[in-house]
Amino acid sequence: MNGMKKIGGKSDETPQTIQEISRQNGNKSSKALYFLFFCFAAAAFFLGSINGKEQVRFPSYEESVIKAVKEVKPAVVGIKTYGGYYSHYPLEIGSGVIFRSDGYILTNAHVLLGANKIMVTLANEKTYTAALVAPAQQYDLAVLKIPATHLPYARFGNSSDLELGQTAIAIGNPLNFGWTVTVGVVSALNRNVLAGHKPYRHLIQTDAAINPGNSGGPLINTLGNVIGINTLVWEGRGSMKAQGLGFAIPANTAMKVADELLHEGYLPQFKSRVRLGVSAYDLTPGLAMEENLRIVKGVVVETVEPGSPAQKGGILPGDVITKINGHRILGVNELIARIRREKPDTVIVVELWRNGIKRTLRVKLVPAVQ
């Protein structure tokens, strides 16, 4: 019959069985689940990448430098000194590092030369007038005290453990650009340098940039420990220009000197019953050649204290002392040792060279002020 379907017979339009319908629905569900899983996995990967970038903003090396600077910066101070005719303008700028929470600061002695007023500025921009506790010109170090307590202070490391090539970070006040950070390495150890006619011994050499104003600031490692006190930069002589030659006093030396200055007010090894009244430095063959001197060993007088035995005896800055009472003086250590042997009110015979002429002076020593 036309238009009629055969009952019970097979036809292309026969409905699917329940099992077939379930199988197809199951396949569709599986595909949907796979798609959802893929979406969740992709989202997790994307979010994980973002979080990972937030957690690792810097390589581990940079993180250690940043952390060390954050730890030490609050203990670094800027120093300005005033004195002389133009008392409203800084005589010198420098840096320092707080090493005790009750306001004790370590810096370079040369930063304080000629000063009658010392101003210290902390990292929080508070400014104090500082008192000079004691200087140690022999090591170019000095201790200051400001009227403040509960201050952040720096930890000092063991400079005997330093290795060539390890990271060295300088923090200071170069050219009055406060709390500047420069990074380099420990370039050499136990360097002896003659700078400004002053001998420096056993210094740390670094290529971390050091400029005027950095003097007295800390040189630190990536652990945030002070390994040295930045002191000078060597620029070379004449046409021989240098770059990247900075020097620092080792932390072990600095802390030993600071401790002696705090407890004794002077360095016991330089204690004497008598006083000559000069500051001086070693004459070296290189310096003798540069100055066209006829001698190669001795002690060059840098300054003479007003009213001192040296001034009364006729000693002048620039004189080269070669003998005391007939004993050869090869350097500052020999001069100190020879003076320490004498008694107060003793007259010593000083042989020296001045402007290429040999002279002999008689100087009466006086008791040292304790």
Catalytic site residue 60? no
Residues 6 or more apart whose CB falls under 8 angstroms from that of 176 comprise 78, 93, 213
User: Exposed, middle or buried by CB within 10 Å (0-12, 13-18, 19+), for 327?
Assistant: middle
- Given the residues 95, 140, 159, 308, the one annotated as active site: 140
Catalytic site residue 110? yes
Residues of 329-358 as b/e, b for ≥16 C-beta within 10 angstroms?
bebbebbbebbeebeeeeebebbbbeeeee
- Given the residues 95, 110, 308, 319, the one annotated as active site: 110
Residues 6 or more apart whose CB falls under 8 angstroms from that of 99 comprise 75, 105, 106, 153, 154, 156, 226, 255, 258
C-beta separation of 276 from 341 below 8 A: no
Spatial CA neighbour of 99 closest among 159, 142, 160, 136: 142
Residues 6 or more apart whose CB falls under 8 angstroms from that of 251 comprise 156, 157, 158, 159, 225, 226, 227, 228, 229
Backbone φ and ψ for 210, nearest 5 degrees, come out as -125, 130
DSSP β-bridge partners for residue 13: none
Q: Show the tokens assigned to 100.
A: 């005790």
Which of left, alpha, beta for 251 (phi over 0: left; psi -120 to 50: alpha)?
alpha
Q: Which residue has the tokens 């350097």?
A: 331
C-beta separation of 138 from 270 below 8 A: yes
Strands (E) across 17-103 are located at 76-82, 92-100
Spatial CA neighbour of 202 closest among 110, 139, 136: 139
C-beta separation of 143 from 106 below 8 A: yes
- Given the residues 95, 159, 187, 215, the one annotated as active site: 215
Distances (CA, A) of 193 to 185, 197, 201, 280: 19, 10, 6, 15
Catalytic site residue 308? no
> Which sequence positions are flagged as catalytic?
110, 140, 215
